[in-house]
Amino acid sequence: MDTSNTTHMHTHRFRIFILLAIISGLTLHAQDKVLVETISKEINSKMDHYQSLYQHLHQHPELSFQESATSDRMAEELGKLNFQITRNFGGTGIVGVFENGDGPVIMVRTDMDALPIEEKTGLPYASKVTMKNEDGEEVPVMHACGHDVHMTVWVGTANTLVALKDHWKGTLIMIAQQAEEKSGGANAMIEEGLFRKFPVPDYALAFHVNPGLPSTMVGYCPEAAFAGVSSVDIAVFGEGGHGAYPHETIDPVVLASRTVVDLQTIVSREISPLKPAVVTVGSIHGGTQHNIIPDRVDLQLTIRFYTDDVYRQIIEAIHRITRGVAISSGLPENKFPEITIADSYTPPVQNNPALTHHATSSFSRILGEKNVVRVEPTMAGEDFGKYGQTDEQIPIFMFWVGAVNPEVYAESIEKDISMPPLHSPHFAPDYINSIRTGIKAMSFATINLFLK
């Protein structure tokens, strides 16, 4: 059998296949290039507005569950783009829906709340706002966690996607969420019926500014990104009396001190070293005077974890340790510690690996591979994770956008200078670059998901 013609035909077909693949790749690259250029032009045309919006939001921060004016401004921005808007959803939340033909449903989320911190940046647009907190106390308020950047990028993404609506098909859902800092906003929107009253997203995206990355870069974790968070209150009881006669008392200050030390063994001696966990006693209060031994001391704890089994292990250990301390002191059972665990906790943010890969590929194509870096998970909490833990099992992805001017970042590395962290009164992001980077990354990734 003569195989020379067959071999020639196979070789010819293979060459055609390679040529078509090259042409297809070039076409895709050309389409990417056009889309990237179009996105950049659209962002540049509105940067003055975004800069003004950011400064307005920074100068007018509002505390968790009180974001009324901020919510109105977010609704106003979406209203200019002909979104179907639902106000005051689950509190001060905003849901905007933009239908653009048949295709995937994609949700993009921002948070709106600020912190009870007195700003010390010295910037001309620094916050001078004070508000009454939930206890009725007048406190200073500052966007010290970058939510003003988040909202501006959210608005910029909505503007960009609407301007480029001929490039994609599907339904875009933009949500502005209250109370991320207190970890109640996401749950409130879900319980209000976010996924019953509106289209269920195929994907959900969000980001957070990062004070450890240059403002031209984004960072990502392919799976676990933010830790789960829970709060625990412990009332330690004793038998009070005169400070001169401690032998006639059971001192709850001493019991509380022992408890604080013993709680540290949960992570160091009970949780596997391969499983991240944190148990921090952030507050201890008891007594009124130098020479009085009180009958009660209160502890407030924060717990951080990545898996439910670690969370359960920590809670069990807290009960066992506090009870053991009380027994060893000779307290009767009716004076054993009272432990109150938060009704709900913030789950970890577990990024969907496939969605992460798809989004980071888009980031590399619009920002350049060198500006897309894998980062370590953080023990900070973020209630965005709740959107991925409902019955709908929505794939979620949350990434970081750098907040430090690249030159300042380089100098900080060279001279080993610490940068102000999130929640610092000195936190001042390189907001123009961060906003530009955030809109580029979020818009391009979202469009490519619509085209998936």
Indicate which residues carry an active-site annotation. 113, 180
Cβ–Cβ under 8 Å, residues 236 and 298: yes
3-state class of 177 per DSSP? strand
3-state class of 330 per DSSP? coil
Length of the chain (residues)? 452
Distance of CA 318 to the CA centre of its chain: 27
Q: Which of 112, 97, 271 is nearest to 199 (CA)?
A: 97
Rounded to whole angstroms, the Cα distance separating 72 from 178 reads: 12
Rounded to whole angstroms, the Cα distance separating 138 from 159 reads: 36
CB neighbour list of residue 378: distance below 8 Å, 6 or more residues apart: 225, 226, 227
Q: What's the Rg (C-alpha) of the chain?
A: 27
Cβ–Cβ under 8 Å, residues 443 and 157: yes
Angle, nearest 10°, between helix axes 431-450 and 147-163? 40
Cβ–Cβ under 8 Å, residues 447 and 108: no
